[in-house]
Amino acid sequence: MTASVVDRMVDAINEHDLERLVECFAPSFSNLWPAHPARSFTGRDGVRRTWETIFQAHPDIQVTLTTRAHSGDETWGEWEFKAEQGDGSPTFWQRGVIIVVVDSELIVQSRFYMEPVEAPPE
């Protein structure tokens, strides 16, 4: 069984392989943030710019797809994006749902419902 494009994307992010990551997306890719529309962008150039910035700001970022469900061409997943300092405290930590739409083994759209994780009460 070959890995899905979503799995290849996760591997590319966790290996910080920008070229392999960009190859997972269609040239006409659309990234939508329904709750934060100003964060939305389109195209592979948008993917490249976004992830170059993230990799520079958080060189140890790791992504986990904790659960997923498929419906037609969509994968609904619960995601965690996390980067940590040397002591294990997070420098970047988001969790939420991303809905990924795939066509011809390329990601053509994603809808992000991600939010920063709040520190637990002490």
- Sorted by where each starts, the structural domains of the chain and their CATH numbers stand as 5-115 (3.10.450.50)
Question: What is the spatial distance between Cα 100 and Cα 55, in angstroms, rounded to a whole number?
Answer: 21
43: Cβ–Cβ under 8 A, 6 or more apart, which residues?
27, 28, 29
Q: How many CB atoms lie within 10 A of CB 89?
A: 9
Cα 14 off chain centre by: 10
Cβ atoms of 121 and 88 closer than 8 Å: no
Q: Percent of the chain, pLDDT > 70?
A: 96
pTM above 0.95, yes or no: no
**Position 88 confidence tier, pLDDT thresholds 50, 70, 90:** confident
